[in-house]
Amino acid sequence: MFDARRQFVRLHKIVKNNLSRSHFEQATVIGSGPNGLAAAIELARGGCSVRVLEAEETIGGGTRSAELTLPGFVHDVCSAAHPLAVSSPFFRTLPLAAHGLEWIQPPVQLAHPFDDGTAILLERSVQKTCETLGRDAGAYRKLIQPLVDDWEYLAPELLRPLRLPRYPFKQARFGISALRSAQSLAKSVFASERTQGFFAGIASHSMLPLDQTATASFGLVLAVAGHAVGWVIPRGGSQKIADALSSYLHSLGGEIVTNLRVESIDGLLTDESAVLCDLTPSGLLKVAGHRLPEHYRRKLERYRNGDGAFKIDWALNAPIPWKSADCARAGTVHLGGTFKEVLASEAAPPAGRHAEKPFVLVTQPSLFDASRAPAGKHTAWAYCHVPNGSTFDMTTRIENQVERFAPGFRDCIIAKKVSPPAELQRHNANLVGGNISGGSSDIRQLFLRPTSRLYSTPTKGLFICSSSTPPGGGVHGMCGYFAARRVLGK
């Protein structure tokens, strides 16, 4: 009698699941990065009972902030500037402002200074940006303005897995330039070394040598998003993104458990309960390798991690004393100087070398957000690219680059926290060898990551939802969203 009742309940669940097109009533998400939280939210909105398990003491993965140097100095542990978060079609549907998230627009999105004390400035206005580009103004406007005008259509198509173009003309216009290497696009479109260096600097977010196919896409996406929506920063630090996502998730009935490192999916994956891993392929192999078929395991083992990052956080007694005063109006500053230098710097890590003059990405959020540091004091963060797993100390080389464009910078430092690749990985197991993009984004892994199955695995109910799936690295939550849609059968 009891058994018949159980069978009936089970049958009822299956019918109900099929009617709602949802295959699972429960789900466990391993990892609370932006993709893990996005997946959990979409599942909760789809009627699933969802629980997030996070290894670290605090939630957020790559969107965390902490007093890394001194009390009162709030540093972004990973992400700092968020053009993709405000472009994200999924985040745009969430009431994140009502859950405490406030975006700040720095007056200038990005500055790229030169040795002569001048700088190219990426402003929201294409026209104002052109005013800093000299003879390349027309070429820049011709390349960028149509894409800015189309951003509303392009962003949802770019922040998703590849599919047949919905806007063939607009996407072709983007694709023709985007599929080129950053080096060839910069050289063919811009006449001056300055503009070429500026574009190469933005494309360096790809963490790839800039002569590789499709590296131009990174330069275009980030430049266009800078104009269309801005490289915004969250008031209070990137932790506020995770906090807003978690607050909304709780309002939907979701649960988050911290300080719980999942060692195995055994016991979590059942007929009723799916498991979504906000993990890299190596993380997935650790927790679920024994439940995956050999052929899929081998594919995950072949996944390439890509270069690492070497990061420094500074507590400062004054703003960075930039030679070019305009740099003090920018949320992000790119220190690479000339085109040749940027190319050389980005070619070094894949060849196992450390650039003498590394291309350095700096953010200075306390200039625009007083909550980041005690009155009159400041925070800044910087990183450069290094070979995966490098143990070489880049502190002096990074600080030399800042000093080069801001003489007197070293005198402003009160305290610093240096994070080589191993330290980054210690705080977040997903940063394998210091890689910050969930694995290399070269053309072979840009669209089909981690395998051609994308979010699904051959094991029923087991999914991967991290930035090792499309559309890849950055804070946008779209990997989590699409993985959750798969779980919901949508």
Ligand X SMILES: Cc1cc2nc3c(=O)[nH]c(=O)nc-3n(C[C@H](O)[C@H](O)[C@H](O)COP(=O)(O)OP(=O)(O)OC[C@H]3O[C@@H](n4cnc5c(N)ncnc54)[C@H](O)[C@@H]3O)c2cc1C
Q: How far is the CB of 473 from ligand X (least distance, A)?
A: 4
- Least separation in angstroms between residue 382's CB and ligand X is 10
| Contact in structure between 433 and 303 (CB atoms under 8 Å) | no
Q: In terms of CB distance, is 149 or 255 closer to ligand X?
A: 255
Residue found by looking up tokens 């400041």 in the block: 378
CB of 472 to ligand X, least distance (A): 8
Question: Among the candidate windows 79-87, 215-223, 265-273, 318-326, which touches ligand X by CB under 6 A?
Answer: 79-87
346 near ligand X (CB under 6 A): no
Report the C-alpha gap between 232 and 250 in whole angstroms.
Answer: 25
Alpha helices in 252-289 (DSSP H): 281-288
Among 29, 43, 46, 56, binds ligand X (CB under 6 A): 56
- Residues 6 or more apart whose Cβ sits within 8 Å of residue 411: none
- The correct pick among 28, 65, 79, 305 for binding ligand X (CB under 6 A) is 79
> Residue 208: which H helix or E strand, with range?
none
Told to check if 360 binds ligand X by CB under 6 A, we report no
Among candidates 64, 67, 58, 81, which has minimal Cα distance to 415?
Answer: 67
Q: Does residue 122 bind ligand X (CB under 6 A)? A: no
225 binds ligand X (CB under 6 A): no
Q: What radius of gyration do the chain's Cα atoms show?
A: 22
Shortest distance, position 184 Cβ to ligand X, whole Å: 26
Binding span for ligand X by CB under 6 A among 13-21, 365-373, 396-404, 469-477: 469-477
The Cβ-side half-sphere exposure at 370, using a 13 Å CA radius, reads: 2
475 binds ligand X per the rule CB under 6 A: yes
431 binds ligand X (CB under 6 A): yes
For the chain, the 3-state helix, strand and coil shares in percent, each to the nearest 5, are: 45, 15, 40
Measured from the CB atom, is 189 or 436 closer to ligand X? 436
Q: Does 75 bind ligand X (CB under 6 A)?
A: no
Other Cβ atoms closer than 10 A to 487: 27
Q: Which is nearer to ligand X, 81 or 110 (CB)?
A: 81
Shortest distance in whole angstroms from residue 15 CB to ligand X: 34
Return the number of the residue (91 or 409) whose C-beta is nearest ligand X. Answer: 91
Convert 315-339 into a string of H (helix), E (strand) and C (coil): EECCCCCCCCHHHHHEEEEEECCCH
Between 129 and 363, name the residue whose CB sits nearer to ligand X. Answer: 363
Residue 422 engages ligand X in binding (rule: CB under 6 A)? no
Indicate the residue among 84 and 342 with the shorter CB distance to ligand X. 84
Residues from 26 through 55 that contact ligand X (CB under 6 A): 30-36, 53-55
Q: How far is the CB of 182 from ligand X (least distance, A)?
A: 18
Nearest residue (CB) to ligand X, 30 versus 335:
30
* Count of residues touching ligand X (by CB under 6 A): 42
331 binds ligand X (CB under 6 A): no
Distance, in Å, from the CA atom of 44 to the CA atom of 189, rounded to the nearest integer, reads: 47
Distance CA 34, CA 466 (A): 9
Q: Which is nearer to ligand X, 62 or 337 (CB)?
A: 62
Alpha helices in 384-448 (DSSP H): 395-405, 421-427, 443-446
- Exactly one of 248, 383, 405, 463 binds ligand X (CB under 6 A); that residue is 383
CA distance 419 to 309: 9
- Three-class SS of residue 459? coil
Strand order in the sheet with 360-363: 119-122, 108-113, 330-335, 360-363, 378-386, 308-316, 413-419
Contact characters 285-324, ligand X, x per CB under 6 A: --x---------------------x-x-------------
Q: Does 279 help bind ligand X (rule: CB under 6 A)?
A: yes
201, 358, 438, 470: which one contacts ligand X (CB under 6 A)? Answer: 438
The C-alpha atoms of residue 245 and residue 59 are separated, in whole angstroms, by 10
Contact assessment for residue 465 and residue 36, using Cβ atoms and an 8 Å cutoff: yes
Regarding 234 and contact with ligand X (CB under 6 A), the answer is no
Region 399-418 residues binding ligand X, contact defined as CB under 6 A: none
d(CA 324, CA 3): 77
The nearest distance, CB 38 to ligand X, in angstroms, is 8
Q: Which of 466, 471, 484, 486 binds ligand X (CB under 6 A)?
A: 466
> Is 416 buried (19+), middle (13-18) or exposed (0-12) by CB count in 10 A?
middle
Nearer CB in complex with ligand X: 170/427: 427
Binding ligand X (rule: CB under 6 A), the pick from 234, 474, 478, 484 is 474
Which pair of tokens denotes residue 206? Answer: 């790809």
What one-character-per-residue DSSP string does 394-411 give? Answer: -HHHHHHHHHHHSTTGGG
User: Which residues are at the interface with ligand X (CB under 6 A)?
Assistant: 30-36, 53-56, 61-63, 78-82, 84, 261-262, 278-279, 283, 287, 309, 311, 383, 424, 428-431, 436, 438, 466-467, 473-475, 479
